[in-house]
Amino acid sequence: MSKVTYFSGESFPLEMHKVRIIQKLTLLPIEERLRAVEEAGYNTFLLQNKDVFLDMLTDSGVNAMSDRQQAAMLTADDAYAGSETFTRLHAKLSEVFGMKYFLPTHQGRAAEHILARGFVKPGQIVATNYHFTTTKAHITAQGGEVVELIEPSGLSVTSDEPFKGNVDIDALTNLINERGAENIAFFRVETGTNLVGGQPHSLSNLRAVSHICRRHGIPLVMDASLLADNLYFIKTREPECADWSVADIWLAISQLCDIIYFSARKLGFGRGGGIVTDDLKIYESLRAWVPMFEGFLTYGGMSVREMEAITIGLDETLDEDMINQGPLFIAHFVDEMERRGIPVVTPAGGLGAHVDAMRFLDHVDQRQYPSGALAAAVYLASGVRGMERGTLSEQREPDGTEPLAHMELLRLALPRRVFTLSQVQYATDRIHWVYANRRIVGGLEWVEEPEILRFFYGRLRAVGDWQHALVAKFREDFGSSL
Ligand SMILES: *Cc1c(COP(=O)(O)O)cnc(C)c1O
């Protein structure tokens, strides 16, 4: 992707790839979308793909593969143990991360499972810039406590701060002084901070975190699932790195960490995951969990085809024309929404565009899940499937109280290389329409609330009858069901 200036003076992202395989989409009439969302318990995770027009739920495992990735998949070497495919993936990981050892897992959360088992003892703390849903579930399942130390700007929805994922260094020092380094199982830095809008951290902030962790003997673990976007933001927003190659920034980051894990459903345009480290002791201490929970050490639950795809995908991540595709598309989406007055998270981050449901539906009580309601309303109005990232995505405390999320966001993920600008334009237009009619939209309430990771499969219903009013207004305004 590059950003070109048109003769008119306007500037737009331009794809540096062409589409050679397509998948047909259907846009259902709004009455059918109403049926689908009711069947899904107002939870966009429970929608059937056949009922979805543009799937902006996630970037996980749904990024478009390249011709090179598909070609490599045909050369995969199938073997339970010692496959050439694994050797190639391992070599590529060593090259990009500069770390010798690799433990494969079937996806990112499986790496979290192993790290939590290996490091977290009951009562211990895992400090982090910001938690992620599956990470927190694994840490608390081991009896650990997650403490968030993101800089205050990370939690303000609109800001000019380029690195809203940065760690608050004073807060880290205070935590160590108050609770003791020996009670901190590890520090987890999440690159491209998912739950606060795909916001990056800077290289210099990571340096400061690493320095403190090393001084106190606290292992520094990076969740590198969203590293590609963060690399791009470091290159474009951190003056020190403007002339560095992506590969150099990547290595500089790795050198500051003791352990790095990732979801290859995001990093590497494939499906899988793993843990890398340069420390033999750490590798040996975690190794036994892989054959026990994932699969043998040379596949860890991944198919050989996916491993080939990831190897090439990592290579493509070093290509600036490739990694800027996500951020430039997202920035365009965010700008277009902002121009229409729709409240969004700024600056634009990675992963997707994030709509601020707290401002969008400021008449809906946070206990009635405004971002869940907005996700359902946007699906109704457009067939676009986004994801709730707010209070629904939180977990109740052991005593049953419900923590309210810092932010109520509707995330519209842009899987890489999948959508066109006209599709982004359509989504913007329909969200604009919902915004113009936002007073019609009400809240949600539980029908079935699971105890763990409730947002994945819990079922809700509309409070009142706002969904029918929204459908009626749609028909009136557009004169059709589409
Ligand atoms: C997606 C994600 C994970 C979990 O990875 P899966 O492959 O979906 O299990 C962990 N951390 C972050 C930051 C993620 O975005």
pLDDT tens readout for residues 358-402: 999 999 999 999 999 999 999 999 999 999 999 999 989 889 999
Tokens of 129: 């810039």
Report whether pLDDT(464) > 70: yes
Tell how far the Cα of 223 is from the centroid of ligand 1, in angstroms. 8
Indicate which residue of 132, 186, 283, 360 is catalytic: 132
Q: Summarize pLDDT for 39-93 with one digit per residue, the tens.
A: 999 999 999 999 999 999 999 999 999 999 999 999 999 999 999 999 999 999 9
Residue 1: predicted pLDDT: 62
pLDDT grade for 2, boundaries at 50, 70 and 90: confident
Tell me the pairing of strands 459-462 and 444-448.
antiparallel
Residue 321: predicted pLDDT: 87
Indicate which residue of 389, 416, 417, 454 is catalytic: 389
Beta bridge partners of 346: 158
In short, whether 225's Cβ falls inside 6 Å of ligand 1 is: yes
Number of CB atoms found within 10 A of residue 323's CB: 24
Q: Summarize pLDDT for 289-345 with one digit per residue, the tens.
A: 999 999 999 999 999 999 999 999 999 999 988 899 999 999 999 999 999 999 999
Interval 261-275 mean pLDDT: 97
Cα–Cα distances (Å) from 145 to 126, 139, 142, 170, 460, in that order, read 6, 7, 9, 20, 29
**Cβ density class 14-39: b for 16+ within 10 Å, e for less:** eeeeeeeeeeeeebbebeebbebbee
Mean pLDDT of the chain: 96
Count of helix runs (H) and strand runs (E) in the chain:
19, 16
Tell how far the Cα of 31 is from the centroid of ligand 1, in angstroms. 34
Q: Which of 2-11, 131-140, 164-173 is least confident?
A: 2-11
Residue 230: predicted pLDDT: 98
Residue 398: predicted pLDDT: 87
Tell me the pairing of strands 125-128 and 145-148.
parallel
Tell how far the Cα of 263 is from the centroid of ligand 1, in angstroms. 5
Interval 20-36 mean pLDDT: 96
Residue 185: predicted pLDDT: 98
Residue 4: predicted pLDDT: 86
Atom of ligand 1 nearest to the CA of 112: 10
pLDDT grade for 100, boundaries at 50, 70 and 90: very high
CA quadruple 227, 231, 237, 240: dihedral sign: positive
Report whether pLDDT(169) > 70: yes
DSSP letter at 290 equals: I
Tokens of 173: 């020092």
Report whether pLDDT(409) > 70: yes
What CA–CA distance (Å, rounded) separates 322 from 313? 10
In short, whether 107's Cβ falls inside 6 Å of ligand 1 is: yes
In short, whether 229's Cβ falls inside 6 Å of ligand 1 is: no
Using only C-alpha atoms, the chain has a radius of gyration, in whole angstroms, of 22
